[in-house]
Amino acid sequence: MSSKWRILYNRLKFNLAKPHIVIGIALVLLLTALVVIPFLQLVYDTAVWQEADRRISRTAEPGEWTLFHYKRVFSSPLSLNVFYRPLLHSLETSLAISFFAIILGAMMAWLVVRTDMPFKTLIGVFAAIPYVLPSYTLALAWLNFFKNERVGGAAGIYQFLFGVPTPDWLAYGFVPIVITLSLHYYPFTYLLLSGALVSVDAHLEESGEVLGANRWTILRRITFPIVLPALVSSFILTFSRALGTFGTPYFLGAPVRYFTLATTIYSNIVNRTPAMAYISALVLILISVLIIYGNQRVTGSKSFVTIAGKGFHHRLTPLGTWKYPAFLVAASVILLAVFVPLFLLIWQTLMLYPNDYSLGNLTLHYWIGKSTPAFAEGEPGILRNAQILGAAWNSVKLSVGVALLAGMLGIFIGYVVVKSKKTWLSPLLEQQSFLPYLIPSIAFGAIYLSLFTREIGPFPSLYGTFLLVMLVCLAKNLPFSARAGISSMLQVAGELEESAIMVGASWQRRFRKIILPLTLTGALSGFILTFIATMRELSLIILLVTPSTRTLTTMTFRYVEQGYSQFADAIIMLIVILVILGESIARKFGKGR
Amino acid sequence: MAQIELKEVSKRFGQTVAVNRLSLQVEAGAFLTLLGPSGCGKTTVLRMIAGLEVPDQGEIRINNKTVFSSAEGIFVAPAKRGVGLVFQSYALWPHMTVFGNVAFGLQIHGTGKQDIEDRVKTALAYMQLQGMERRYPQEMSGGQQQRVALARMLVTQPSIFLMDEPLSNLDAKLRMEMRGEIKRIHRESKATTVYVTHDQTEALTLSTNVAVMNHGVLQQLAPPQHLYRRPANLFVADFIGSPTINLIPGEIVQEGDSPLFKGEGLTFHCPPLKPFVGKKVIAALRPENITLSREQDEPCVRGEVYSVLPAGAEVIVQVKSEESMFSVREMGDLSLEAGDPVYLRPAIESMIFYNREDGILIYPADEP
């Protein structure tokens, strides 16, 4: 054998004996199945005739190549309404939401981290809470307050108070979507930026001061460039979330036919023109990818880099007479983002007849009432309602299951990425697990719908199974669990494991005794994040659930559509309670170790 | 008898060649230090001996047993090589106590409970860590953590010790202390030791042999004193010694019947250089082999004091002469100030000469 082949042969032989290479190859195959193949299937489906197309075109030959769907979406009489207007709406709302969310988040972060605002610890604790709530909580609360009679059913508190119907522009469409989602998404910026602000060493700013720069110059020339990567990350995160979110634009937009790409995807699926939905999904993905890579080009390698080293001390900016006004502003943001909406929702669940805001109308019927034909077609209160309890059980199963699996997968991905640093396996796996980040939620759901509604080789169709819902949540949450896994593994997988290799510990033993105990704490935060995200997930799974697999979030959706806002709101409260419960159990478990 | 033997070992990472056809023998009981700048491949060599890295080519033998051979496709797992390794970061498991850390290897081997207890106790006592069994690594100082790491290696009684920059995370004072400890361990255990460092003082003080590496290639393997006096090439000459060796470019010309070194501002007769007449060379001279004088005296170089750096017992004087800068080590006090004119008198007999083209030592011949 020539020496070149000998080297290759030896490499193969010795590498296949290494556990991390074997696991890595298995993971690459798994992620290919979970992410890459579904994506290719989606692209394929946009370019061939579908069975359903027989209804709209006589020339349809299912399985044959065609540009029909593309023409229909981009250049047909329908295009303006099914594509261009929704595209414009998606872009204008996402941009406006990102803008306001970043301003709100940056203001909160600066006030909490860098000023002497009173009660800032308290504000800091509450500031991240909107993240925990389902994204459309505020939308439903908004409807409770501003709803007019356009969609039928009872009008909101606004009409009760002022005696006139709410104008459409205030009740539905662009304005409320931007307001509610900005209040929902600002925690991204708040969390990322306060992290960056904490790690900016005050010495950097002080050396500017020594050179005679004034406060404004320091902020502009030193602090801002340092926290810029965090701001860029916040923008990407907020924008791509806003782009892919379905609940809020649907609840607040549909009544006035204000559609976004996300909601047209849904209606195209419902109207059985899936290929058109998939094309819209592709456009959403394309926009996300452009934004993310465009930003990376602009900020260069600086993006996503956190500042190394801890700042030793910070000087707080004295607010002087602005101390209390600043507190009031911060407090009202939290009030509007968390407490007012939750109060409105709870109140709504306690009203026997909608639109009657008297105390005598208060009831617990929608929580614990028995079935009576007088209300809601005889549906019992949610705590007695077998369907809702079933959905709650599904939600819990789903969230805990996905969080555990994602956490495990994250640990394995982290292990392989860190251990095989010098091979092609590491970057490949890292990029594969980042891929779902580029794909907006509703588009991701569409992808899975496209692939798994048919048999694939020996595997039966997964549509309608709980497994499919779990898989999609698992795949969509991969970027976060992989990140968590990689960062906790960075400290463990090097010499700490090698010193166990040196004394002859087997891989199983190393994993059980060294790697797992040391990464569990890091993985726990990933677990909690995934748990919360899955518990309040709607956009991702709305296309995939069937009556037997429905979750609390999809039940809410159904009740809103049917006009039973009491039930819908009560279920949201149930979700909030379950999230808080789950998180505190997880934390307790983490502390007990 | 060679206890560790590397034959033509190569390793590349992607496009970079980390180690290039390295051959090396370590005698039983020797203390070999792999020395070189960062990225020279020294740690890779150590990790290949340990079995944590698989070479691309070559052969490694330990205790007369082939543990790696590319030709025969042999690779023996680290734990079966009879070696112990101390890492740069100590790599103590933070979730285990000191006892747990040291006992882990014995537990893997299925040693009896009482036996483990005794052996861990002995190892800890040997490293002066009595009474610290229940502590966690984070609760200890850097020096103590290093002692635990050493105890963990000693407890399984490997016949070969491997150490990867074990002192680089310690402050200067602790480093001195731990150097003494490592020397004691080597003296008392007589175990063959391979030690990696980029710190030449460490290499020169600890080792019986030093292997200097650069860009994955072995430059010279020699005892410390020899390495210092007869660096095999310009890289080693320049790398070893602080302040660095003085280099004077020049050429050997024939004058009358005696060869003459003609360098910048320095010319002298040097009969042994006869075979090299007509060659361009570089003369090298350690700072302690130059004396400073206020009077002219042949052969000497005229210069001007550039800067005076007192360092306790000795004084380093930097002297500028035309374009070149010389370092001179003088003992005791010196009443010189920057700007003073001064004459450099080199000790001709301590001078060594390199071929300017390939940087190889040409005189005096490098005795084995």
Instruction: Output the DSSP codes for A316-372.
Output: PBP-GGGHHHHHHHHHHHHIIIIIHHHHHHHHHHTBSSTT--SGGGB-SHHHHPPP-
> Do A238 and A189 contact (CB within 8 A), yes or no?
yes
Tallying the residues shown for chain B, one arrives at 368
Of B13, B88, B104, the CB nearest to A503: B104
Amino acid letter at A353?
Y
Closest Cα of chain B to A353: distance in Å? 59
Mean of the pLDDT values across residues B149-156?
94
Q: Which of B289, B300, B292 is nearest to B266 (CA)?
A: B300
Closest chain B CA to residue A506: B108
Distances (CA, A) of A221 to A190, A208, A225, A313, A314: 21, 9, 7, 20, 18
Least-confidence region, from A212-216, A538-542, B215-219, B299-303: A212-216
Q: How far apart are CA B44 and CA A537, in angstroms?
A: 48
Q: Would you call B157 an interface residue with chain A, using a CB distance cutoff of 8 Å?
A: no
- Is B206's pLDDT higher than 60? yes
Question: In this predicted structure, what is the pLDDT of residue B367?
Answer: 61
> Do B236 and B252 contact (CB within 8 A), yes or no?
no
Contact A499 B50 (CB under 8 A): no
Which element (helix H / strand E) includes B214? strand B209-214
Question: In this predicted structure, what is the pLDDT of residue A214?
Answer: 77
- Is B42's pLDDT higher than 90? yes
Q: How far apart are CA B353 and CA B255, in angstroms?
A: 19
Residue B178 backbone phi and psi in degrees, to 5: -70, -30
Contacts of A505 in chain B (CB under 8 A): 79, 104, 108
Contact B91 A514 (CB under 8 A): no
Q: Would you call B247 an interface residue with chain A, using a CB distance cutoff of 8 Å?
A: no
- Is B79's pLDDT higher than 80? yes
Question: In this predicted structure, what is the pLDDT of residue A305?
Answer: 37
Q: How far apart are CA B192 and CA B29, in angstroms?
A: 4
Mean of the pLDDT values across residues B164-172?
90
Of A422, A499, A513, the CB nearest to B91: A499
Angle at A144 between CA A140 and CA A145, to 5 degrees: 120
- pTM, two decimals, is 0.83
Question: In this predicted structure, what is the pLDDT of residue A201?
Answer: 65
Distances (CA, A) of B51 to A201, B47, B66: 42, 6, 12
Q: Would you call B76 an interface residue with chain A, using a CB distance cutoff of 8 Å?
A: no
Q: Which of A282-291, A491-500, B120-129, B255-264 has the highest average model confidence (pLDDT)? A: B120-129
ipTM of the complex: 0.85
Chain A from 149 to 168: CB within 8 A of any B CB: none
Q: How far apart are CA A36 and CA A331, in angstroms?
A: 45
SS3 A393: helix
End-to-end CA distance of chain B: 18
Mean of the pLDDT values across residues B182-211?
94
Closest Cα of chain A to B78: distance in Å? 6
Contacts of B51 (CB under 8 A, 6+ apart): B67, B68, B75, B76, B77, B78, B81, B83
Mean of the pLDDT values across residues B132-149?
93
**Structure tokens given for A246:** 């379905």
Contacts of A7 in chain B (CB under 8 A): 56-57, 70
Contact A503 B73 (CB under 8 A): no
Of B52, B54, B56, the CB nearest to A498: B52
Q: Would you call A6 an interface residue with chain B, using a CB distance cutoff of 8 Å?
A: yes
End-to-end CA distance of chain A: 55
Question: In this predicted structure, what is the pLDDT of residue B272?
Answer: 82
- Relative to beta strand B290-293, strand B301-311 is unpaired
Q: Which of A494, A519, B132 is nearest to B141 (CA)?
A: B132
Contact B57 A7 (CB under 8 A): yes
- Alpha-carbon radius of gyration of chain B: 25
Q: Would you call A581 an interface residue with chain B, using a CB distance cutoff of 8 Å?
A: no
Closest Cα of chain A to B300: distance in Å? 49
Q: How far apart are CA A28 and CA A11, in angstroms?
A: 19
SS3 B19: strand
Q: Would you call A508 an interface residue with chain B, using a CB distance cutoff of 8 Å?
A: no
Q: Would you call A516 an interface residue with chain B, using a CB distance cutoff of 8 Å?
A: no
Contact A7 B77 (CB under 8 A): no
Closest Cα of chain A to B18: distance in Å? 12
**Structure tokens given for A339:** 């407490």
Q: Would you call B81 an interface residue with chain A, using a CB distance cutoff of 8 Å?
A: no
Encode chain A (593 residues) as per-residue pLDDT tens digits. Answer: 567 788 788 888 888 888 899 999 999 999 999 989 888 988 998 999 887 788 888 888 888 899 999 999 999 998 999 999 999 999 999 999 999 999 999 999 999 988 889 998 899 889 988 988 888 899 999 998 998 887 766 788 888 888 888 899 999 999 999 999 999 999 999 988 888 887 766 667 777 777 777 777 877 887 788 888 888 888 988 998 899 899 999 999 999 999 999 999 999 988 888 899 999 999 999 998 898 887 777 665 443 333 344 444 566 778 888 899 999 999 999 999 999 999 999 998 888 887 777 788 888 888 888 877 777 777 888 888 888 999 999 999 999 999 999 999 999 999 999 888 878 888 899 889 988 887 888 889 988 988 888 787 788 888 889 999 999 999 999 988 888 888 888 877 688 999 999 999 999 999 999 999 888 877 787 888 899 999 989 999 999 998 889 999 999 999 888 888 888 999 999 999 999 898 888 888 766 54
Q: Would you call B87 an interface residue with chain A, using a CB distance cutoff of 8 Å?
A: yes
Contact A501 B80 (CB under 8 A): no
Q: How far apart are CA B198 and CA B46, in angstroms?
A: 13
Name the region of A57 (left: φ>0; alpha: ψ -120 to 50; beta: rest). beta
